[in-house]
Amino acid sequence: MIGNDIVDLVQAAIDSNWKRKGYLDKIFNSEEQFMITSGIHPSMIIWLLWSMKESAYKIYSREAKLREFAPLKLQCSNLIIHNDTATGNVSYENELYYTESYFDEHYLHTIASTKLEELGKVEIKITDHALFDYKKTKPASVSHHGAYLALVYL
């Protein structure tokens, strides 16, 4: 099963003030906060870690048919960042999820799967958030945020 999450970075900057007191403590553990504060682009790392957690959570909640808001239980590790891509792991409720992310100055997109080989097989379509009947195309996972709509096909 595949999960995906898109973050419109312009929208996120408008909607969320991560510098607010207590904000990071509710979402990120101490190791994740170290990754955020030790780099030169803290907001980029924040949304990268956030989208990793979100994409893994989407798989879990679909499989377990359970909803909860537990960002601290989704723990990111093994994060490796290249120029405009990143890979990592998210662990949650004894399950390990592999993630792959892509980012530019406008948006950040992450896909997650319990099977590493599945990540290489997916087709990703990112469009502006136009009204088209994407349900007919039967995407495996859908994410929208701000101006963007991300569809992932297996």
Applying CB under 8 A, the residues found at the interface with other proteins are 12, 15-17, 20-23, 26-27, 50, 54, 67-73, 145
Q: Which is nearer to other proteins, 42 or 153 (CB)?
A: 42
Query: CB 68 → other proteins: shortest distance, Å?
Result: 4
Q: Which is nearer to other proteins, 33 or 153 (CB)?
A: 33
Q: Which is nearer to other proteins, 33 or 118 (CB)?
A: 33
- Could you give phi then psi for residue 77, rounded to 5 degrees? -150, 175
**DSSP 8-state class, residue 34:** H
Positive or negative, the CA dihedral 143, 124, 141, 29 is negative
Q: Count CB-CB contacts under 10 A for residue 54.
A: 22
Find, among 125, 55, 58, the residue nearest to 88 by Cα: 55
The residues with which 92 forms a beta bridge, in sequence order, are: 95
Query: CB 102 → other proteins: shortest distance, Å?
Result: 19
Query: CB 7 → other proteins: shortest distance, Å?
Result: 8
Query: CB 62 → other proteins: shortest distance, Å?
Result: 14
Q: Which is nearer to other proteins, 117 or 128 (CB)?
A: 128
Q: Which is nearer to other proteins, 23 or 123 (CB)?
A: 23
Query: CB 16 → other proteins: shortest distance, Å?
Result: 5
CA distance 57 to 125: 20
Task: Give the start-end residues of each E strand in the chain.
Answer: 2-8, 75-81, 85-92, 95-103, 107-113, 123-128, 141-145, 148-153
